[in-house]
Amino acid sequence: MCLEHVREFNAGYDWFEGMSAEEIFDAQSPASGWRTESPTFRPTAGVDGMPRWADYDDPLDAISARASGIKSRARREAEMAMDGRFSREEAEALEVMGLGSDIDRRRLRRRYSELVRRYHPDRNGGDRQYESRLNRVVEAYNTLRGCRAIA
């Protein structure tokens, strides 16, 4: 659309139409939308165990917790890779699966089954929003399945 048509459209548009005074006030608040969860912080965010927005009153606390979780995850991956038992790729796969270095084949298989059931579209009413997460879990399992460090 050209600028003239955009202005014409915007002149007839009222975002607050049909809202009460209280709803308008809430929508204009600087904290508006804060309680809306992003996919990263949902309880179903998955295996990485990161915090949810709803767990915090202050947005900066939530962001800080997320950042420290990412740092500790990277630290754990580095420690596992430096341990010599696991390659960097295998350490990342363990993180995707939500497992530590004290893993055996039976526990790996059990965790894999649990995650596939959680993220498969057939178990989620055909919803494919978790498909990329499922793909990451399958790739991680395939990486770990051939790992010699797992007894």
Give Rg (Cα) of the chain.
22
pLDDT in tens, 21-65: 988 888 887 777 666 666 655 555 544 455 566 666 777 777 777
Within a domain: residue 5?
no
Distances (CA, A) of 2 to 11, 13, 14, 15, 143: 14, 17, 20, 21, 52
Q: What is the pTM of this model?
A: 0.51
Within a domain: residue 83?
yes
pLDDT in tens, 113-135: 888 888 888 877 777 777 888 88
> Alpha carbon 17 to chain centroid distance?
34
- Which pLDDT belongs to residue 139? 92
Characterize 112-133 residue by residue with b for buried, 16 or more Cβ atoms within 10 angstroms of its Cβ, and e for exposed: beebeebbeeeeeeeeeebeeb
Q: Which domain holds residue 73?
A: 46-151
70 Cβ partners below 8 Å, 6+ apart? 50
Within a domain: residue 10?
no
pLDDT in tens, 19-33: 899 888 888 877 776
Number of structural domains the chain divides into: 1
- Which pLDDT belongs to residue 25? 85
Within a domain: residue 122?
yes
Its sign, for the CA torsion 78, 79, 82, 87, is: negative
Q: Are 43 and 52 in contact (CB under 8 A)?
A: yes
